[in-house]
Amino acid sequence: MGEIRSPYFSLGQNSFGDNSDHIHSPYISYGGEDYYGDYAEIHQDISGNSYNAQQFVKHGKAPRRVGGASNYEQESDVCIYKVGKALRESKKAMYSPQKISIGPIHYGKKNLRLMERKKSEYYEIFWKDRVSKAGELHGAEDEFWNALKEDEKKIKQCYEDDFDRIENPEDFLDLILRDAVFIFELFLKYSENEEEFKKDSKLKEPGLRAAIRRDLILLENQLPFFILEKLYELLPENIKGKHTEFKALACSYFKRHLPRNNFSPAATMPLHFTDLVRSLLSFTRKDKSVEQIKSFHSATKLRQAGVKFKVPLEHDSLLHVDFRKLGKEFHIPQLQIHSDTESLFRNLMAMEKRLYPGQEYICHYINLLSILVVKPKDAKLLMENKIVTYYKDEVAVRDLIYSLASSTTDIHSFYHDIFSAVDDYYKSSWAKNPAYFIEEFFGNFWKGVGTVSAAILLILTLVQTICSIRGLS
């Protein structure tokens, strides 16, 4: 039997094919040696391609917070971080803006200068066209500047960077002002008329609008949400249109990432756009316990045991997964994979590790997918049941999930109760064996014909043999 390895983190290991003997299981692998913590022990239930993690040690190097929401409190006001060196070197493009810089971290980079000119054009449009036409220009720009001056220290405390590159304090505030105004004008244009927004000559470059939306979600490419909300409140109501609250306006712009259309923004203020998108995809509840995963099975093995995969008709979030033992149904909301999906999840996961220890719900969701999707045939099964949609094939889906899962090594999950329920069902002989037999030998018409034909041939051969023995006697 082939070795069992990790779907979460592997160094010096190539991606495995559909016929590979490598089965991946949640612990770290370094170039052929498995490791989790100082005294790693692994207990493997090889039979049936199921994985048993009961003997994982509890003393891993990374501190774990188990049993519900963490009591963790931030030691500072920092909420906008630089992605760690290891993550950046592995997938630099996933964490770096491709078209536009927002905030100070990527400010001044050569490949982003084109959008600096477009930002200046939007700045002029905002004040001269939008604000002036509304008869509200007098003193408005000064109000913005004074608000920024008032909160300058608080804004800087949100960033991990010390801003040595920006020598003049007023240059820093001017940067924040211009980025904030660009965001307001962009969001308002989009909310007023999406079709007209698509015709905007300043953003007519193919793929530019999508690239800007993608860049606005990057963890390193953020403005603090509180200052955007404060500046937006200074605008007259006749400029804001139907979105009197900035949070609702931002949600409207990022609605592509919403699991449903009738959303309501979370009650708490997000820290920035990365945090906002996480709140739209994740749970609003914080009372789900986080416990160790003990056993788990791939999608095809579960299907062989009679489990049906379905997209729920209604769900609160992308992460709202459920297993209904009575109906043998695994309910998973549909994941629509786009060109920016990997970047989106990588930044959400990077943020969770810094800001939400013990509540890394997006990380847990990706781990769940990586456990279900071990091989391309697992991805194909989920695609056939509309759990995952992608214009590429099942190999690309498996590779994407595997790549995302490589950045997290956690064996604790708020899905632990679902894993336990699925494992109990899988291990029950009355459920597993008959269902597996039917799936394996009568999965479709031709399988059934082949099975019956083989059985008849075996019986005839047996009868002929018995008759021959009797004839000789």
* pLDDT of the residue at 84: 87
Half-sphere exposure in the Cβ direction for 49 (13 Å, CA): 20
* pLDDT of the residue at 444: 61
Nearest to 286 by CA among 3, 67, 4: 67
Question: Which amino acid would we find at residue 166?
Answer: I
Question: Which amino acid would we find at residue 360?
Answer: E
Q: Are 290 and 66 in contact (CB under 8 A)?
A: yes
**At a CB cut-off of 8 Å and minimum separation 6, what does 153 contact?**
none
pLDDT along the chain (473 residues), means of 10: 35 37 35 32 34 33 36 66 87 94 93 93 92 72 94 94 77 96 95 80 87 96 98 90 90 74 64 94 74 89 92 86 87 93 95 92 94 96 96 96 86 90 80 57 64 81 82 68
Q: Which helix (H) or strand (E) holds 322?
A: strand 322-324
Q: Which residue has the tokens 């394996």?
A: 440
Q: Are 242 and 191 in contact (CB under 8 A)?
A: yes
Q: Are 406 and 10 in contact (CB under 8 A)?
A: yes
Distances (CA, A) of 342 to 184, 348, 392: 27, 10, 14
Residue 11's CB is within 10 A of a number of other CB atoms, namely 12
Q: Are 72 and 324 in contact (CB under 8 A)?
A: no
Dmax (CA) for the chain in angstroms is 116
Query: Cα(255)–Cα(240) distance, rounded to whole angstroms?
Result: 18
Nearest to 294 by CA among 138, 180, 413: 413
Angle between helices 429-442 and 445-472 (to 10 degrees): 90
* pLDDT of the residue at 132: 79
Query: Cα(23)–Cα(335) distance, rounded to whole angstroms?
Result: 24
Q: Helices H, strands E: what count in the chain?
A: 21, 14
Q: Which residue has the tokens 């997290």?
A: 408
List, as own/partner pairs, every contact residues 235-238 make where C-beta atoms lie below 8 angstroms and the sequence separation is at least 24, other chains included. 235/131, 235/136, 235/140, 235/184, 236/134, 236/136, 238/134, 238/136
Q: Which residues pair with 412 in a beta bridge?
A: 292
Q: Are 299 and 384 in contact (CB under 8 A)?
A: no
Query: Cα(110)–Cα(161) distance, rounded to whole angstroms?
Result: 20
Q: Are 274 and 217 in contact (CB under 8 A)?
A: yes
* pLDDT of the residue at 152: 94
